[in-house]
Chains A and B, each alone.
Chain A
Amino acid sequence: MEYFYDGTKPKKKEKSHGKLVVQQRMRLAMGFLHPLRPIIAETWLLQGDGNKSKAFGRALKKLMQDGIEGQYPEQYILPDRVAISLGLLPGVTIEEVAISEQLVEVYFSSNENPLSRNTDEVVLIAYSPELQMAGKNERTYYRKEEYLAMELPVHFADGFFHLYLYVRSAKGNQYSKSIYLGGFEGYRGSNRQ
């Protein structure tokens, strides 16, 4: 049995290719989702059986399975495949997204569905993985309003950010699958969708 080891000495055994691929996927997924942890703790709570840590693990697993493309060592995340929230609540149909400087406006419509309620809340998330920052609408908007506005964090003026939208029930126990609205540049840059 070896009781002695030197932590500074690199291990001689090389890591297998599979291990390196999975490690990179894990690193990418963790880097992308970690700043959103407080949001995911709520939106994935049902999938995590009420456990916040388990909920984050499930979201991480989903991203590693569905949201990463490319071959090692050039794997990358596809933001449109990232699920910020997951659930059976019906989502909304996006009609238009308008961005003017610091303000984002989203126009949407909703079809009649036995599972949906007019009082369902619509939440918009603006997220910049580069800045490791996110923001969400502060005023509560409802499904019946078919409109939502949000002030973007000041940090996003120079950076690139993604917009996600999801619906949650008034009680906060049901969520829809998140919808990706696109990637945008801050108002000091040019729009690219």
Chain B
Amino acid sequence: MGTFKKGINGSFSGKTGSIIGSKWKSIPYMKGLPRLKKHATFSEAQLKQQEKFKLLLDFLMPIHRLLAIGFRQYLNRQTQLNAAMKGNYDLALYEEEGKTYVNFRKVQFSQGVLFTPGNEQAKYTPEGIEVSWHTKTYGVRGDNDDQVYIVFYQEDEARLYMPGSAIRSDGHYLIKIDKQWGPIQHVWLFLCSTRGKEVSRTVYVPITDSRQ
């Protein structure tokens, strides 16, 4: 699909013959009518590409509202899912024996320059999972009232959840585990300034079990 620069008459919208004009996020588009292929066959490379897209999209979809915070600065000409797909496609997927998997340690739900708190830890406690972090800000790119967003992945449901948020100076957050849930496998966190202008990159927090 091509975009076009405004000519002397500007952009147009609606159907003119077999061409449709439309606008999305201030980008004028000119599209042809769809040509349906009833028995389309895809090459192996195309199928691989489709598999990768589906895997990543299904993974990110449950928290797409949170992605709007994490990728806010990139949303002028794309949706948060577009931005997250772009940020994770090369980074967070890997292949093993011909199958594609998500590399959980490298997943990014945000991209930015706000400083991460450091010393991030997560451990199982009888009440749930306690996520903790360092509260000092060191005077550059970080404030005590920065929002800390926590995301976890639940293996049984194969789904991401966002239980809530805390502020940097809290230093910890308790994820209360619902009895119906299976084990939580992965936890991440990222920070966002109070005005929402700056975000940090996402930090993967390994979980330790202190119940034994």
Bound Cα distance A16, B126 (Å)? 63
- Residues in B with CB closer than 8 Å to A132 are 113
Question: Are B3 and A136 in touch, CB under 8 angstroms?
Answer: no
Name B30's closest neighbour in chain A (CB-CB): A4
Answer whether residue B45 sits at the interface, using C-beta atoms and an 8 A cutoff. no
Q: Which of A17-25, A31-39, A47-55 contacts B (4 or more CB under 8 A)?
A: A31-39
A135: shortest Cβ distance to chain B, in Å?
3
Question: Interface size on B (CB < 8 Å)?
Answer: 16
Q: Say yes or no: is A78 at the interface (Cβ < 8 Å to chain B).
A: no
Residue contact B119 to A38, C-beta cutoff 8 Å: no
Q: Which residue of B4, B113, B140 has the most chain A CB atoms within 10 A of its CB atom?
A: B140
Set of chain A residues within 8 Å of B5, measured between Cβ atoms: 3, 5
- Residues A4 and B4 in contact, CB atoms below 8 Å apart: yes
A74 at the A/B interface (Cβ < 8 Å)? Answer: no
Within 8 A of A (CB), among B57-99: none
Across-interface contacts of B141 in A (CB, < 8 A): 35, 38, 133-134
Contact of B139 among A35, A37, A135, A154 (CB under 8 A): A135
Judging by beta carbons under 8 Å apart, are A7 and B113 in contact?
no
Number of interface residues of A (CB under 8 A): 23
Q: Which residues in window 100-140 of B have CB below 8 A to A?
A: 113, 115-116, 118-119, 134, 136, 138-140
Q: A81 within 8 Å of B by Cβ?
A: no
CB distance from A56 to the nearest CB of B (A): 13
For the complex formed, measure the closest distance between the CB of B122 and the CB atoms of chain A, giving whole angstroms.
Answer: 16
Interface residues of A in 117-145 (CB under 8 A from B): 125, 132-138
Residue A105 at the B interface, CB < 8 A? no
Contacting pair B134 A154 (CB below 8 A): yes
* Residues 1-23 of B at the A interface (beta carbon under 8 Å): 2-5, 7
A155 at the interface (CB under 8 A from B): yes
Whether A112 is near chain B, meaning CB under 8 Å from some CB there, is: no
What A residues does B4 contact at CB under 8 A? 3-4
- Min CB distance, A101 to chain B, in Å? 14
B138 A134 Cβ-Cβ under 8 A: yes
A135-B3 contact in complex given A35-B113, A155-B118, C-beta closer than 8 Å: no
Asked if A6 is at the interface (CB within 8 A of a chain B CB), the reply is yes
A80 to B113, CA, bound (A): 24
Q: Given known contacts A154-B118, A155-B116, is B2 in contact with A4 (CB within 8 Å)?
A: yes
Give min CB distance, B87 to chain A, whole Å: 16
Minimum C-beta distance from A185 to chain B (A) = 17
List the A side residues contacting B134 at CB < 8 Å: 154
